[in-house]
Structure formats: C-alpha cells, structure tokens
Amino acid sequence: MDQSLRRAVVEVTLSTLFYALFCLIAMAVVAVFVRAYVPSGGVVSAVSWVVKCAGSFLMPLIFIRRGRALVKGIVAGVAGSLVTMLIFAAVGGGFSLTALYLAELAACAALGALGALVGTKLRRE
C-alpha cells in the first residue's frame, strides 16, 4: 500500500474512532441530565445533533493532516456518522433510516471537511 494512502487511512480511522468515542461519552453525560430533568423528545434529538456535529468538526480538526484534507474530512465525517448510528442502534435495540438522517450525513460531511481544512490551516507542519 502506498505510504500516503496508508497515512490517509490511519488519519480517517483515528478521526472516526475518536468521533464515536466522543459521541458515546457526550451522550452518556446527556443521558444523566435527561434522566434528571426529563426534557421533551425534541430536546434530546437536538442535543444529539449538536453532539454529532461538534464531534464531526473537532475530530478531523485534530487528526487530519495536509494532503487531500478536504476528502479525508468528508470521509471521516460520514464514516463517523455511520459508526455512531450503528453503535446507537446496537445500544438502543434498533434503528430506522429517515430523510433526517440523510441531512445528518450531509451536515457531518460538510463539518468534517471544514474541520479538516481549519486544522490544516492552524497546524504548522
């Protein structure tokens, strides 16, 4: 495997795994507050979106390096969204795909790309 391709796979994999870990920890903290304050279902969905969007931006910002950062950020955002969907489906006992999920994929892809681009501009290599 080409060295640059190997490095890209490692960067995207790290970003995806830490994105999933970030979402799991953040949603566990949110679950404590949900249990204590019992907000409506809309609030839970909105907070879930905010957590996923924050993770989708922050993890590529941290892990993606120069060289096709835009593509790697998009892949990391989409892959992270898919992995967290599968993890939350396994924990919650099932999942359903809706049109809202397609919007979430698009938002995560855009934020992943933006995070990767900002990270490469801020980082001095």
Alpha helices in the chain (DSSP H): 3-37, 41-63, 69-92, 99-122
pLDDT of 66 > 90? The answer is no
pLDDT at residue 30, as a whole number: 84
Residue with tokens 């795909």: 97
Number of domains within the chain: 1
Residue 30, CB half-sphere, CA atoms under 13 Å: how many?
18
Which 8-state DSSP code applies to residue 68?
S
CA distance linking residue 125 with residue 120, whole number of Å? 9
* Structural domain containing residue 78: 3-122
pLDDT at residue 101, as a whole number: 84
Task: Report the SS3 class of residue 12.
Answer: helix
Which pair of tokens denotes residue 21?
């870990």
pTM given for the model: 0.86
